[in-house]
A and B are shown apart, each in its own frame.
Chain A
Amino acid sequence: MSDRTAPLAPPESIVPTRYWHRLEDGRIQCDMCPRFCKLRDHQRGLCFVRARQDDMIVLTTYGRASGFCVDPIEKKPLNHFLSGSSVLSFGTAGCNLACRFCQNWDISKSREYDTLADQASPETIARRAAELGCKSVAFTYNDPVIFHEFAIDVAAACAAIGIKAVAVTAGYVTAEPRAEFYSHMDAANVDLKGFTEEFYRRVCGGHLDPVLETLEYVHNETDVWLEVTTLLIPGLNDTPEEVGRLTTWLIDRLGPDVPLHFSAFHPDYKMLDRPPTPPETLTMARRIALSNGLRHVYTGNVHDPEGQATYCHDCGTEVIERDWYRLGRWGLDESGRCLQCGTRCAGVFDPDGPGTWGARRLPVRLAG
C-alpha cells in the first residue's frame, strides 16, 4: 500500500502525544480513547488523525481546522452558559466513534486533508475570537478527544486572554487524558447517544460505560459547566422506557440541575432508511425527563418555544425566552437569580446580562 511510505501529514501538523504504550508484539496501543487502537508503523487509528510514526503515537492535525464559524452559544447547544453570546467554533477531521447516523459525516469521516484547509496557531485562534467579540471558543463538529493536544493548547491560549473554552464531545475518552482535557475546559456539551450498550456497540461502534464515566467525572469532579445532548432516532433509542432510564440515571448520578437537550435526527450518512424524528417524540421525551425530576429539559432542531425556554425551577416563571437560537425576554438578575422569586438558576451567566449575538452563523477564514 502506497500509504506506508507516503507522509502522514505536513510535518508542521505532526506533534508527539503522551497517551500510548508499546505492546509485546511490537505494536503500539493508543490509550487516548477506549477504542485502544493497536498500530503498526505508519498506521492510523480509527480516528484517522492519530497515527503511529517513529515508534510513537502522533497527532497529525495539529493547527488544522475544517473551518471556523461564529455561532450562537445556544447552537452547541449550551443554554446555561454565557447565554446570547457568540462562540468561535471549529473542528478538525476524523472521529473516534463511527455512528451510522452521523450528522456531520463530511467532517468526521473525512480522509482528505483538503477539508483541513484552514490553518491557525492557538494564539491566532484566541486573538481572533476576541477580535470577533466571542466570549468563547468551541471545539465541535468532530470530537476534540482526538485532537486533544491542539484543543488544550487553544484552550490555554484562550484562558490567557479571558476567552472561555467549550468542548462539544461524545465523551468517549479514557480516564487520564479526560482529566487533563477537562482541566482546561470551562464548559462542555456531552452527547449521551442512547442508554443501551447495544445501541453504542451496534450503531456507534463504541461502548456506553466510558461515556457515563465522562458525564459523572465532568459533573462531579470538575468545575466545568456541563450540559447533555441526546439525539432521538425513531425506533432506535426513543422508547419512553429508554428515555425514562436515561433521565433517571442523570438525576441519580448528576442531580436535577444538569440541562438535557433532546434533538431531532435527520436521515444522514449510513442511516437513510429512517424517518426524521417527529416533534412529538421530543415533546414526549421532555415530559418524561421533567417528570423524573430534571429541571431544565430542552427540545432542539424543531420549532418549540415552550421546549426551548428556560424556567425557574422554583416558581416556574419563564426566565429565558428562546426561539431557536434567538433570545427573547430575560428574567435573571446579575447573579443569575430569578427576578420573580430570587432562586438561582444553575449555570454560568454573564453579570452584564445576556449577549446580543442572535441567531446568526458567520463563517470566517483564519488562515493568513
Chain B
Amino acid sequence: MGRLSPGLDSRFLIEDYEPAYARTWREGGFDAKVETALDELADCKACPRDCGVNRLLDERGVCHTGRWPYVATAFSHFGEEDCLRGWNGSGTIFFSYCNLKCVFCQNWDISTQDAGQELNAEQIAELMLRLQDQGCHNINFVTPEHVAPNLVEAIAVAVPLGLKVPIVYNTSGYDAIASLELMDGLVDIYMPDFKFWEPDTSRRLARAKDYPERTRAAITEMHRQVGVLEFGPDGLARRGVLVRHLVMPGLVDESAAIFRWLHDEVSPDTYVNIMGQYRPEHRVPGSQRYADIDRRPHETEMSAVYQAARDAGLWRFDERRR
C-alpha cells in the first residue's frame, strides 16, 4: 500500500459508519443545540468577529447576513478532493458573504455580495435532501463560519426527513469555538483552509489579524471532535479533519510554519491537501499594493512547499487521481 494512498491504510479505515448527527438525534441532543443556536443568533458571536448583533431581528454585522443565510448555489460538485467527490460528486451548498475579507478572494462574486437568496432552515434542509437524492456522497457546506447557528437549525430539520450522508464543514478556519461546539456531534468531516501564519499577513490580506491564532484554536477543536481523516472501504472520506492549504505566492516560510504546527501540535497523521491553484483575483490583478501576490505561485515555490510539508514530518497528502 502506497504511502500516498492513505485511503487504503487500515489504520484509517471505518467499516461501520454512522453519521455523527444520527447518534446525536438518537440521544436527543438536538433540542439543546437548536436552543443554543438561537441564543447565539440573538447576540451573534457565530464567528470570531464577535459583532454582537441580534440576527433574530435581522440585524447584520461584518458578514452582512441577517436571520437566514444567503445560498449562492447548491450543486453536485466534482471539483473537490477525490475522497469527497467520488463518482457522484460532493453536495456543495455555497453561502454568500464571508467573515474574512481576503483581497485575493477566489470566489469574490459570492463572498462580497448577496448572491443567491436567503433560505430558511426548511429550505436548506430541502436542498440537502435533494443533493443526497442525486447521489452526492456528502453535504458540503462551503463558507459556513458565519451561518453555523442556521445550519444547526437546518440539520435538525433534515435528519428526521432522512439525511444519511456525512456533513462536510468547508471553512476558512476563521471559526468561533462556540460554533464548532454547536457542530460537535453534527459534522463528520471538517475541512479548514489554513492559509497564513503571520498576523500581519492575515491582517493585510484577509483583514483579520487574529486569523492565525483563531484558526489554530479551531483546528485543535476540530481534531478533538473527529480526529484525523478516515475513509470507508469505498475510499470516500467518512470522518476526520482534512486540512487544506492554499499556497500563496511568496509565503513559503508561512507554509512551513503551518505544517510544523500541524505535525507537532495536531497530529503527524494530519491529512493535508496542498493546493496550487491560487490565481490573482478580486482586488489583486493589476494592483500596485498587492503586486507581491499578483501572480501564481512558481513551480519552485510549490515544490518548496511540498518539501516543507514532508520535512515537517507530515505524510498523508491528498493526491488527485485524474
Nearest Cβ distance between residue B225 and chain A, in whole angstroms?
A: 27
Whether the Cβ atoms of A221 and B52 lie closer than 8 Å is: no
**A205 interfacial contact with B, CB 8 Å:** no
Q: Which residues in window 67-113 of B have CB below 8 A to A?
A: 101, 112
**B300 interfacial contact with A, CB 8 Å:** no
Q: Pick from A213, A253, A256 the residue with the most CB of B within 10 Å.
A: A256
Given A213-B289, A252-B112, A253-B101: A293 touches B204 (CB 8 Å cut-off): no
**B207 interfacial contact with A, CB 8 Å:** yes
Interface SS of A by simple majority: helix
Whether the Cβ atoms of B101 and A252 lie closer than 8 Å is: yes
Q: Which residues in window 40-74 of B have CB below 8 A to A?
A: 49-53, 59-62, 64
Distance of A303 Cα from B288 Cα, bound (Å): 43
Whether the Cβ atoms of B203 and A293 lie closer than 8 Å is: no
Residue of B nearest to A217 (CB): B289
Nearest Cβ distance between residue B282 and chain A, in whole angstroms?
A: 12
- Residue numbers in B under 8 Å from A213 (CB-CB): 289
**A366 interfacial contact with B, CB 8 Å:** no
- Residue numbers in A under 8 Å from B62 (CB-CB): 251, 255-256, 293
Range class of the B interface residue count: 10 to 19
Range class of the A interface residue count: 10 to 19
Given A175-B289, A256-B61: A221 touches B53 (CB 8 Å cut-off): no
- Residue numbers in A under 8 Å from B52 (CB-CB): 313-314
Whether the Cβ atoms of A220 and B204 lie closer than 8 Å is: yes
User: Which of A254, A293, A313 is B60 in contact with, Cβ under 8 Å?
Assistant: A293
**A104 interfacial contact with B, CB 8 Å:** no
- Residue numbers in B under 8 Å from A356 (CB-CB): none
Nearest Cβ distance between residue A210 and chain B, in whole angstroms?
A: 11
**A291 interfacial contact with B, CB 8 Å:** yes
Contact string against B for A residues 231-274, beta-carbon threshold 8 Å, 1 for contact and 0 otherwise: 00000000000000000000111111000000000000000000
Residue of B nearest to A292 (CB): B60
Nearest Cβ distance between residue A250 and chain B, in whole angstroms?
A: 11
User: Which of A175, A217, A221, A293 is B61 in contact with, Cβ under 8 Å?
Assistant: A293
Whether the Cβ atoms of B112 and A291 lie closer than 8 Å is: no
- Residue numbers in B under 8 Å from A217 (CB-CB): 289
Nearest Cβ distance between residue A73 and chain B, in whole angstroms?
A: 24
Distance of A356 Cα from B180 Cα, bound (Å): 45
Whether the Cβ atoms of B207 and A253 lie closer than 8 Å is: yes
Residue of A nearest to B59 (CB): A291
Distance of A162 Cα from B207 Cα, bound (Å): 30
User: Which of B51, B204, B288, B289 is A256 in contact with, Cβ under 8 Å?
Assistant: B51
Q: Pick from A254, A292, A293 the residue with the most CB of B within 10 Å.
A: A293
19 A-B pairs within 8 Å (CB atoms) are namely A175-B288, A213-B289, A216-B289, A220-B204, A220-B207, A221-B203, A221-B204, A252-B101, A252-B112, A253-B101, A255-B62, A256-B51, A256-B61, A256-B62, A291-B59, A291-B60, A292-B60, A293-B62, A314-B52
Question: Chain A residues in contact with chain B, CB under 8 A?
Answer: 175, 213, 216-217, 220-221, 251-256, 291-293, 313-314
12 additional A-B pairs beyond A253-B101, A255-B207, A292-B60, beta carbons within 8 Å, are: A213-B289, A217-B289, A220-B203, A220-B204, A220-B207, A221-B204, A251-B62, A252-B101, A291-B60, A293-B60, A293-B62, A293-B64
Question: Chain B residues in contact with chain A, CB under 8 A?
Answer: 49-53, 59-62, 64, 101, 112, 200, 203-204, 207, 288-289
